[in-house]
């Protein structure tokens, strides 16, 4: 067998990639997927379109290097998390648009739930802050707002899945209805400790158990791609939500290893091994990919706006023409002269969870110009990341020794050096920046013996560049105090 095929279904596109025995990517194809915004705060996609885009990406990737389906040892799947699909078990047709993770349509329901006597128990059981972000309230909404849906669900005629489940069901021509613990832990329906669906949570959201997929290990053969799809059966052997797949793609398989992805937002995950995290600092407890029967956990911090603030500078303010030019602009001065951007454009995520906050620049004087504003925008990603890292350190009781980074904005060398300086910790960027697709490939390849051990896979991980902290303590402390004051002003 020559290849592992990885399917990476993200919010804006479906991708497929082929890897060889050395863990090198040989081909990758991307097919864009549109979003619809039918009402303020609503975000939807067409589930059928997600499937056809993924199929298209898969076929194009094979064609790119003339790979044959018989040469593929296994398929791994990674996906945008929390996005919710409900479909008819008999026809395979979705009964409603897919509700995307960003969609706020169930915010009122979640606010009421957060104020109810059940709230503390839900959080303790699931590891999650009660929010419209997660799938449970989205499934409930579809059953309540699609005529006849609740009766059909109770009769066993409807199926629920996140995008991993939906893709596997289609890949297997309707034979396999499964998910993995990383995805299930984002539904608000799974008991984080036991890794099983929870009757009480199903009762709260009024979701019939018959709709739910079987939870299988993240790494293990769970079904077959039907021969009708590519011309030969291929084992489906890896599943993980995108951020947990990136954690695996960064070879963070053990307690204490962490990664931060700098994309539209930032997602930092710290592997906590077999130990279930209970955050006292408003981070999320979640599952990490498991390579066998034993549960693996992670603590997660999510920042809503990171690279998106750079896009804002480009598209709305017109201060820059492209994201990469921010690196040279920032390096042309030594500091921002006390200017900070707190990018609360859609409120603040972890650890503040302040939906009402809005963005502000603080500390400007008549000397402040474009250069300072651009630099402050980049620096805001580093300060927000330090907030997450500090919360993680406080929860785990152990200082972080190294942060592995990926995502579009991790290509910015100024930002990565500033990140190391502000954290006082080594920041390491790998050669392969497509860690999400890579992680799903690892999980599939390990399951079928294409790679023989975790140690083999770990040996593939190669640093592109290491950023060591170089800033004097006094300067770091002064900058950090300034950031905290800026956040306080913004929230006030
Ligand atoms: P996503 O997967 O969330 O769409 P990506 O990982 O592709 O995001 O990263 C794109 C984001 O990173 C954009 O918001 C962009 O503004 C930002 N970005 C890309 N390159 C740079 C750069 N060199 N410096 C700073 N920000 C960048």
**What is the gyration radius of the CA atoms in the chain, in angstroms?**
22
Which residues are registered as beta bridge partners of 406?
261
* Most ligand 1 atoms within 8 A of CB, residue of 242, 263, 378 to mutate: 263
| Average pLDDT of the segment spanning 103-121 | 92
Kindly state the greatest CA–CA separation across the chain. Answer: 68
**pLDDT (tens digit, 9 = 90+) per residue, 403-440?**
999 988 999 999 999 999 999 999 999 998 899 999 99
**pLDDT (tens digit, 9 = 90+) per residue, 355-403?**
778 899 999 999 999 999 999 999 999 999 999 999 999 988 888 889 9
Same CATH fold assignment for domains 3-243 and 251-430+462-492: yes
- CATH of span 251-430+462-492: 3.30.420.40
DSSP H helices, 397-472, are 413-423, 435-447, 454-458
| Average pLDDT of the segment spanning 439-448 | 97
CATH class of 3-243: alpha beta
Of the chain, the end-to-end C-alpha distance in Å amounts to: 60
Contact, 276 vs 192, CB < 8 A? yes
- In this prediction the pTM is 0.90
Q: How far is the CA of 246 from the centre of ligand 1 (A)?
A: 16
Cα(411)–Cα(326) distance, rounded to whole angstroms?
A: 11
**pLDDT (tens digit, 9 = 90+) per residue, 72-91?**
999 999 999 999 999 999 99
Q: How far is CA 410 from the centre of its chain?
A: 16
At 404, list the tokens. Answer: 């592995």
Per-residue pLDDT at 43? 87
**pLDDT (tens digit, 9 = 90+) per residue, 365-377?**
999 999 999 999 9
The mean pLDDT value of the chain amounts to: 94
φ, ψ for residue 178, nearest 5 deg? -140, 165
Tell whether ligand 1 has an atom less than 6 A from the beta carbon of residue 307: yes
Cα(174)–Cα(153) distance, rounded to whole angstroms?
A: 17
For the chain, the structural domain boundaries read: 3-243, 251-430+462-492
Does residue 321 register a pLDDT over 80? yes
Per-residue pLDDT at 345? 87
Tell whether ligand 1 has an atom less than 6 A from the beta carbon of residue 409: yes
At 133, list the tokens. Answer: 């972000």
- Whose Cα sits closest to atom 26 in ligand 1? 409
Tell whether ligand 1 has an atom less than 6 A from the beta carbon of residue 308: yes
Ordered DSSP codes for 105-153:
TTHHHHHHHHTSTTHHHHHHHH-----TTSSHHHHHHHHHHSTTHHHHH
Ordered DSSP codes for 286-298:
EEEP-SSSS-EEE
Does residue 255 register a pLDDT over 70? yes
Per-residue pLDDT at 357? 86
Per-residue pLDDT at 355? 75
The residue among 442, 396, 129 whose CA lies nearest residue 257 is 396
**pLDDT (tens digit, 9 = 90+) per residue, 88-102?**
999 999 999 999 988
Contact, 282 vs 394, CB < 8 A? no
Give the 3-state secondary structure of residue 229.
helix
């Amino acid at each position: 067998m020559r290849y592992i095929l990885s399917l990476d279904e993200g919010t804006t596109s479906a991708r497929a990639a082929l890897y060889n025995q050395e863990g090198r990517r040989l081909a990758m194809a991307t097919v864009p997927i549109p979003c619809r915004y039918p009402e303020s705060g609503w975000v939807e996609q067409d589930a059928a379109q997600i499937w056809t885009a993924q199929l298209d990406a898969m076929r194009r990737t094979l064609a790119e290097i003339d790979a044959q389906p018989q040469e593929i040892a296994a398929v791994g799947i990674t996906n945008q998390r929390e996005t919710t699909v409900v479909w008819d078990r008999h026809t395979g047709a979705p009964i409603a648009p897919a509700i995307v993770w960003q969609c706020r349509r169930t915010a009122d329901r979640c606010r009421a739930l957060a104020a109810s006597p059940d709230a503390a128990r839900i959080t303790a059981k699931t590891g999650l802050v009660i929010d419209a972000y997660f799938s449970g309230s989205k499934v409930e909404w579809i059953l309540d707002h699609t005529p006849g849906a609740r009766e059909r669900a109770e009769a066993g005629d409807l199926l629920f899945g996140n995008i991993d489940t939906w893709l596997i069901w289609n890949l297997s021509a309707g034979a396999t209805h499964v998910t993995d613990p990383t995805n299930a832990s984002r539904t608000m329906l799974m008991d984080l400790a036991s890794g099983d669906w929870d009757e009480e949570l199903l009762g709260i959201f009024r979701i019939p158990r018959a709709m739910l997929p079987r939870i299988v290990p993240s790494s293990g053969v769970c079904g077959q791609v039907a021969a009708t799809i590519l011309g030969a059966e291929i084992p489906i052997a890896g599943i993980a939500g995108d951020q947990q797949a990136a954690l695996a793609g960064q070879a963070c398989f053990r307690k204490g290893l962490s990664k931060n992805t700098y994309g539209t937002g930032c997602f930092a995950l710290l592997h906590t091994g077999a130990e279930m995290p209970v955050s006292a600092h408003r981070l999320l407890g979640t599952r990490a990919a498991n390579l066998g029967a034993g549960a693996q956990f992670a603590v997660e911090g999510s920042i809503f706006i990171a690279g998106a603030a750079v896009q804002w500078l480009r598209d709305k303010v017109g201060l820059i023409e492209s994201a990469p030019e921010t690196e040279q602009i920032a390096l042309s001065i030594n500091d921002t002269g006390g200017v900070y951007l707190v990018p609360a454009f859609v409120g603040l995520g972890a650890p503040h969870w302040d939906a009402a906050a809005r963005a502000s620049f603080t500390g400007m004087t008549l000397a402040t110009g474009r250069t300072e504003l651009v630099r402050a925008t980049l620096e805001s990603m580093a300060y927000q990341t330090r907030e997450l890292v500090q919360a993680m350190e406080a929860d785990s009781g152990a200082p972080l020794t190294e942060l592995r980074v990926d995502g579009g904005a991790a290509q910015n060398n100024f930002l990565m050096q500033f990140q190391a300086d502000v954290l006082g910790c080594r920041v390491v960027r790998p050669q392969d920046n497509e860690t999400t697709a890579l992680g799903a490939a690892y999980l599939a390849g390990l399951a079928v013996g294409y790679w023989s051990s975790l140690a083999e896979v770990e040996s593939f991980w190669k640093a592109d560049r290491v950023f060591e902290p170089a800033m004097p303590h006094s300067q770091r402390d002064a900058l950090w105090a300034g950031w905290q004051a800026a956040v306080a002003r913004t929230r006030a």
